[in-house]
Copies of this chain bind each other. A is one copy, B any other.
């Protein structure tokens, strides 16, 4: 299957840039090559001109976003939107169609509201995890946010990509309650109860009257989300940061089955993480050892002291009875902020305190320029099946001669079996081999019924191909919607393999 060969027409881009400069001012429009370099895929330095933007625009308001979208329609220029562009491992800020104009929302960085009665924040796309945490601290520290590991990314951006965190509210897409969206037409829309002007439950009740459309804006080319309601977790009286260790893959199966029981019966109600060969050690220093046989599971208990104690006794009974494991915990008061000076990285992550440790870890293999490509199939949370997935993926890594670093994200009924391929982008042959290895891995997993939840811009069509039920019925449905609401195909063409009519003939012919 050929890659899309669409490219933004340079004349049209030039006219659009002029109009954007008129509308937003020259400060908000970047065109110098040097200024645009930071928006390249951070790891694909070899062929990055294939995914270069021709300009970047930094709107500072909803009205400016609307102006950008209208100008793009007028000049038929493709846009590629990022919140802050920290989607490393998935392409960073790089667009699918070369010559696209990047819409970077990092200037829209206001925490619009912290509702300390109902426990939600309203944030713009430029708000980073670091910013939200700081705002919550400043508001008194009564509410915690779920975070991914790294603090520099956008709350909105991560959540719209189905990113995941590690507290009770770690399913970030599900944690959104009420959106505001600029549509490809430039029209402003509010979802859920927000569809009523002045509605009091916009960020408290998660559905619409009539169909609920929020899901349409996840991994999407159907709109630009300008704000979201974001649910917070009340600071618990006690927080137990717990762990379980074992050696050798075969213990995965009984551990997963025991964890499923504890997650389904709500003894454990955060989002646990099971890793091998990838961790920050007790001192917070990176500890990357793909040859290790040692698996480490982390999970958390939150709540009133007596509930956390009662739950720990159940954990001891259920997990403690799995042969070959050791378990432990460290209990914090909710009012003790788990600072860098106390508690290991895992303790902080599950308390909603972001850091940059994971980035350090990811630089270990080949120094500061280390690249990585993530491979992340989803399966059911059943021990035998998770073990099978790990063995399949590990087997392919071994076949390709790559070290296998695994990070499994446990959800109540499913699991995302993330693995990471590290490479040195300066080594062209090796880098190409890594990207080439991805496709056969994809095919092998899809054949067994395991699909990816997310992927790199280079692999979006390949992954879309694996979602093949009834001749790709879901993709055809989404492309019908795309054509209806974005007839000029200006917004994020090719995102997750959804192409506007004007650009998909290459694939469908």
Interfacial residues, chain A to chain B (CB-CB below 8 A):
117-120, 162, 168, 171, 173-174, 177, 183, 187-191, 193-201, 203-220, 222, 231, 233-234, 236, 260-261, 264-267, 269, 302-304, 306-307, 309-311, 313-314, 378-382, 385, 411, 413-414, 446, 448-455, 463-464, 466-470, 472-478, 480-481, 483-485, 495-498
Which residues of B are found within 8 Å of A264, using beta-carbon distances? 119, 233-234
By beta carbon, the residue of chain B nearest A388 is: B200
Which residues of B are found within 8 Å of A261, using beta-carbon distances? 234
Given the interface pairs A190-B473, A209-B219, the reply to whether A313 lies near B306 with Cβ below 8 Å is yes
Contact indicator A234/B265 (Cβ below 8 Å): yes
By beta carbon, the residue of chain B nearest A200 is: B449
Given the interface pairs A201-B451, A498-B210, the reply to whether A469 lies near B265 with Cβ below 8 Å is no
State the CA gap A418–B231 with chains docked (Å): 25
State the CA gap A119–B257 with chains docked (Å): 13
19 examples of A-B residue contacts, CB within 8 angstroms: A171-B206, A173-B212, A188-B470, A195-B474, A196-B468, A197-B468, A203-B413, A207-B453, A210-B220, A211-B217, A211-B219, A212-B216, A215-B215, A236-B265, A265-B303, A306-B314, A307-B310, A309-B310, A480-B485
Contact indicator B496/A188 (Cβ below 8 Å): no
Chain B CB within 10 Å — which of A187, A215, A470 has the most?
A215
Contact indicator B209/A267 (Cβ below 8 Å): no
Contact indicator A381/B477 (Cβ below 8 Å): no
Which residues of B are found within 8 Å of A207, using beta-carbon distances? 162, 173, 215, 218, 453
Contact indicator A467/B196 (Cβ below 8 Å): yes
Contact indicator B477/A485 (Cβ below 8 Å): yes
Contact indicator A450/B310 (Cβ below 8 Å): no
Contact indicator A474/B213 (Cβ below 8 Å): yes
By beta carbon, the residue of chain B nearest A305 is: B310
State the CA gap A436–B208 with chains docked (Å): 25
Which residues of B are found within 8 Å of A467, using beta-carbon distances? 195-196, 208-209
By beta carbon, the residue of chain B nearest A197 is: B469
CB distance from A196 to the nearest CB of B (A): 5
Contact indicator B307/A117 (Cβ below 8 Å): no
CB distance from A449 to the nearest CB of B (A): 4
Contact indicator A449/B196 (Cβ below 8 Å): yes
Q: Among the listed B193, B303, B414, B454, which residue makes an inter-chain contact with A267, where contact means beta carbons less than 8 Å apart?
A: B303
CB distance from A479 to the nearest CB of B (A): 10
CB distance from A160 to the nearest CB of B (A): 10
State the CA gap A204–B402 with chains docked (Å): 30
Contact indicator A218/B209 (Cβ below 8 Å): no
Q: Among the listed B168, B212, B266, B451, which residue makes an inter-chain contact with A196, where contact means beta carbons less than 8 Å apart?
A: B451
Which residues of B are found within 8 Å of A485, using beta-carbon distances? 477, 480-481
State the CA gap A234–B125 with chains docked (Å): 38
Which residues of B are found within 8 Å of A475, using beta-carbon distances? 195, 210
Contact indicator A449/B198 (Cβ below 8 Å): yes
State the CA gap A209–B475 with chains docked (Å): 10
Which residues of B are found within 8 Å of A222, using beta-carbon distances? 211
State the CA gap A407–B469 with chains docked (Å): 43
Which residues of B are found within 8 Å of A473, using beta-carbon distances? 183, 187-190, 195
Which residues of B are found within 8 Å of A200, using beta-carbon distances? 379-380, 385, 448-450
Contact indicator B190/A474 (Cβ below 8 Å): yes
Contact indicator A484/B474 (Cβ below 8 Å): no
Given the interface pairs A162-B207, A210-B497, A216-B211, the reply to whether A450 lies near B199 with Cβ below 8 Å is yes
By beta carbon, the residue of chain B nearest A454 is: B209
By beta carbon, the residue of chain B nearest A261 is: B234
Which residues of B are found within 8 Å of A468, using beta-carbon distances? 195-197
State the CA gap A460–B216 with chains docked (Å): 24
Contact indicator B306/A469 (Cβ below 8 Å): no
CB distance from A250 to the nearest CB of B (A): 19
Given the interface pairs A118-B382, A306-B313, A449-B196, the reply to whether A478 lies near B211 with Cβ below 8 Å is yes
Chain B CB within 10 Å — which of A222, A313, A474, A480 has the most?
A474
